[in-house]
């Protein structure tokens, strides 16, 4: 997995896979202007896994919508391989927090729905669908309906649907946020394995700091009102992918302190205990 490369180290003229340059976005809510994003700069390299963390309302999901091309009304520039994003395209896939599977289609048909616009023949499409169901470990459930699946399984199908088009970018909008803690841990490993296997560039939006550190090559920390990037922390090789490793915990605490949660869990518990005594 490629490690972060500072922007200045790159040669001039060589474009990043994804380049977000001075992007601002305003909404009008009940007649009042709300600044959702303010002067966002972010460059993502091919094959990189970027985590974006921040409190709710910091505009992280809005940023994903802009990258997807669902909303083109913003200031600044978003470029994929130097091309300005004008509309949604199959080179960018997304997994939402809710699986958004169509309940009237079975698992296979849900994944195949992403290939409606592809030029491939029926046999090739079928093979792609089978491969990706295998990738997420659901070969046995091709004919099942979403209502018959658990939350974790449904989200795996959503991941298969997002990857079946072989996108260059996988955008993840709190994809594991609605799952129980155990399933979430299991799917984090799976997500890491799958993204590596496919060689996709990934941008993950999450409010789970552990998840951000565990999965990201870089961690973008955003602050709200207006939504802006506070800092970008690299996840160095020294931070092993072990949640109880001291380096992992140190980095996690650093992220937490950037988010305004200075104390670690134990200290906070002690504080609570003292106050209630």
Partner 1 sequence: MSLIAIAGRERLSHIAPPPLRFIGRHLRPLAVPIALLVIWELLARAGAADPRFLPSLEEVVARGVAEFSRGGLGFNLLASLERDLIGFVCGSVAGIALGLAIGFSRLIERLLGPVLLVHRQIALFAWVPLISMWFGGGEAGKIVFIALAAFQPTLINTWQGVSGIPRSYRELADVLTFSWFDFARIIALPGALPQIFTGLHAALIYAWTATVGAELLLNIAPGIGGRMNEGQHLFHMDLLLLCVLLLGGVGVVFNVIAGSLERRLLRWRIP
Q: Would you call 156 helix, strand, or coil by DSSP?
A: helix
Among 58, 114, 212, 220, binds partner 1 (CB under 8 A): 114
Does residue 142 touch partner 1 according to CB under 8 A? no
- In angstroms, give the least distance from the CB of 227 to partner 1: 20
Q: Is the dihedral of CA 138, 190, 197, 85 positive or negative?
A: positive
- In angstroms, give the least distance from the CB of 212 to partner 1: 23
Q: What is the DSSP letter of 227?
A: B
- In angstroms, give the least distance from the CB of 163 to partner 1: 13
Residue 115's contacts (CB-CB under 8 Å, 6 or more residues apart) are: 125, 128, 129, 164, 165
Q: Would you call 171 helix, strand, or coil by DSSP?
A: strand
Q: Is the dihedral of CA 263, 268, 274, 276 positive or negative?
A: positive
Q: How far is CA 190 from CA 3, 128, 137, 174, 215, in A?
A: 20, 19, 10, 15, 11
By CB under 8 A, the count of residues binding partner 1 is 23
Q: Are 152 and 175 in contact (CB under 8 A)?
A: no
Nearer to partner 1, 98 or 198 (CB): 98
Does residue 145 touch partner 1 according to CB under 8 A? yes
- The residue behind tokens 């590596």 is 196
Contact letters (x/-) for partner 1, 33-72, by CB under 8 A?
-----------------------------------x-x--
Among 40, 52, 80, 94, binds partner 1 (CB under 8 A): 94
Does residue 104 touch partner 1 according to CB under 8 A? yes
Among 47, 57, 76, 88, binds partner 1 (CB under 8 A): 88
Does residue 155 touch partner 1 according to CB under 8 A? no
- Would you tell me which residues interact with partner 1 (CB under 8 A)? 68, 70, 87-90, 93-94, 96, 98, 100, 102-106, 113-114, 116-117, 145, 147-148
């Amino acid at each position: 997995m490629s490690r972060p490369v500072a922007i200045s180290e790159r040669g001039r003229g060589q474009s990043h896979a994804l380049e977000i340059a001075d992007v601002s976005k305003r909404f009008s809510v009940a007649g009042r202007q709300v600044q959702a994003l303010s002067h966002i700069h972010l460059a993502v390299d091919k094959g990189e896994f970027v985590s974006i963390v921040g409190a709710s309302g910091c505009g992280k999901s809005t940023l994903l919508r802009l990258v997807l091309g669902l909303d083109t009304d913003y200031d600044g520039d978003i470029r994929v391989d130097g091309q300005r994003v004008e509309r949604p395209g199959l080179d960018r896939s997304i997994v939402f927090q809710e699986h958004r599977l169509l309940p009237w289609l079975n698992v296979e048909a849900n994944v195949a729905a992403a290939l409606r616009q592809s030029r491939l023949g029926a046999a090739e499409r079928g093979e792609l669908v089978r491969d990706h169901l295998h990738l997420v470990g659901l070969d046995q459930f091709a004919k099942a309906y979403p209502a018959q699946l658990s939350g974790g399984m449904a989200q795996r199908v959503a991941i298969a649907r997002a990857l079946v088009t072989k996108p260059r970018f996988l955008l993840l909008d709190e994809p594991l946020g609605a799952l129980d803690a155990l399933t979430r841990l299991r799917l984090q490993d799976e997500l890491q394995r799958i993204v590596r296997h496919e060689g996709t560039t990934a941008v993950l939006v999450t409010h789970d700091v552990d998840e951000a550190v565990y999965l990201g090559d870089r961690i973008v920390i955003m602050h709200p009102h207006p939504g802006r990037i506070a800092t970008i922390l690299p996840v160095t090789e020294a931070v092993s992918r072990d949640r109880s490793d001291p380096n992992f915990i140190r980095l996690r605490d650093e992220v937490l302190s950037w988010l305004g949660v200075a104390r670690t869990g134990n200290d906070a518990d002690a504080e609570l205990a003292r106050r209630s005594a």
